[in-house]
Amino acid sequence: MTALATAPTARPRPARAWRAVVRLHRPALIFWGLFVALVSAVLLWAYGPGGNAAAAAWRRSCTVDLCDVGYAVDFYHLAYRFCEALITFLPVVVALWAGGILIGRELENGTAELAWSQSVSPARWLLAKLAVPAALLTAGTTLLVLLHRLLFDAHQVPKGWNWSDSGTFETNGPIAVAYPLLGLALGALAGLIAGRAVRGLIGGLLANATATILIGLAGPHLVPWRISVGDLKEGYAAPSGVIHGGEGAVTSTGAHIADPCTGAGKSCPAAHDIVGYYSEYHPSSQFWALQLTETALILAVTALATAAAFTLLRRRTS
C-alpha cells in the first residue's frame, strides 16, 4: 500500500505577492497612469505649441510699458501652474489612499488577516503593499519633475516664474519625488494604527500635513544662510529672486537683533545703537544644496515611518 504524503502549502513568491497588490488596487493603478499621462501631456503642450504661441504673442504685443498678449500667455501660465499644483497636492492624495484603502480597509475587512493565515507572512504582505506603490510613484513623479524642469528652463515668456516660488522650488527637484513616498509611509502607518478605513484616511491626512509643515519650516535652515547688510539709508538689502529668511537690525558691535524701530521715528536707530540692517537669504546657486538636504530629511522621516509600521505589525502579529 502506497502512503500518500501531503505536501506543505507553499508561500507565494514575492513577485506573486506584488502582482496580487496590483490586481487588488487596479483602480488606483489606472488613476495613477491617467494622472501621469494628463500632467505629462499638459507639460509637453506648454513646452511645445503652447510655449511657442505664448512667445509669439509676447513678442508681437508687448512694448516697453504695456503688454496686451491675449489668451496665449494666460493659457501658457495656467498650464504651468495647473501641473505644479497637481504635483504639489499629490502627497496628500497618496496619504489618504494609503491610510484609508491600501491598509485601513484591508484590516477592517479582514482580508489582511486572511492573507496572513493562508498565503503570505505579515512582513511580506506589508513589503508588497509599500514596494509596489513606491516604485510606481517614484517612476511617475520622476518623469513629471523632469518635464516640469524642462518647461521651467525653457521659459519662453519672461514673466511670472521664479525658482524660489513656493511650489516651483519643490516641483523642480527630488523633493517632489520624496514627498509622495512620505505620504505613502505615513498613510500606511496611520492605517495600521487605526485598523479602520476612515480613521486611517484621517490619520494619514493629519500625519502627512504635520510632517510636511515641519519639514517645510526646517528645510531652509539645513543650509547656511547668506547674509546681506545694508546701512541705515539703504535699509534691508536682500536681492530679489531669492528665498528669504530672517531679518533685523545690526548694532555698532555687529550684533544681529530684532528691529525695534519698525514704525518708529528717525531718532530710534541712534537710541538703540543701530547702524544698519541685515537680511538672510538663499540665492539660486544654493538650489541643489537646498533640494538635496531637504530630500534627505524627507527620506529619513519616511524611513522612520516605514520602520515604525513594520515594528507595529510585527508586535500585533507575533
Give pLDDT tens digits along the chain (318 positions): 444 444 444 454 555 666 777 777 789 999 999 999 999 999 999 999 998 988 888 777 665 555 666 788 889 999 999 999 999 999 999 999 999 999 999 999 988 888 888 778 899 999 989 999 999 999 999 999 999 999 999 988 877 789 999 999 999 999 999 999 999 999 999 999 999 999 999 999 999 999 999 999 999 999 999 999 988 888 888 888 899 998 988 988 888 988 888 777 777 888 888 888 999 999 999 999 999 999 999 999 999 999 999 999 999 887
Q: If you search the block for the grid coordinates 516664474, which residue do you land on?
A: 161
Q: If you search the block for the grid coordinates 480597509, which residue do you land on?
A: 105
Distance (Å) of CA 164 to CA 91, 134, 136, 289: 20, 28, 28, 13
Contact assessment for residue 276 and residue 252, using Cβ atoms and an 8 Å cutoff: no
pLDDT attached to residue 64: 55
Domain locations in the chain as residue ranges:
14-221+287-317, 222-286
Q: Who contacts 148 (Cβ-Cβ below 8 Å, separation ≥6)?
A: 43, 83, 84, 87, 171, 172, 176
0.75 surpassed by pTM: yes
- Work out the number of other CB atoms within 10 angstroms of the CB of residue 233: 6
Distance (Å) of CA 265 to CA 255, 273, 274, 278: 22, 14, 13, 19
Rounded Cα distance between 244 and 173, Å, is 19
Contact assessment for residue 228 and residue 237, using Cβ atoms and an 8 Å cutoff: yes
> What are the beta bridge partners of residue 162?
none
> What are the beta bridge partners of residue 257?
249
In the chain, alpha helices (H): 14-24, 26-47, 49-61, 71-97, 105-109, 111-118, 122-153, 168-171, 175-194, 197-218, 268-271, 287-317
pLDDT attached to residue 24: 73
Rounded Cα distance between 230 and 247, Å, is 11
Q: If you search the block for the grid coordinates 545694508, which residue do you land on?
A: 230
Rounded Cα distance between 153 and 168, Å, is 12
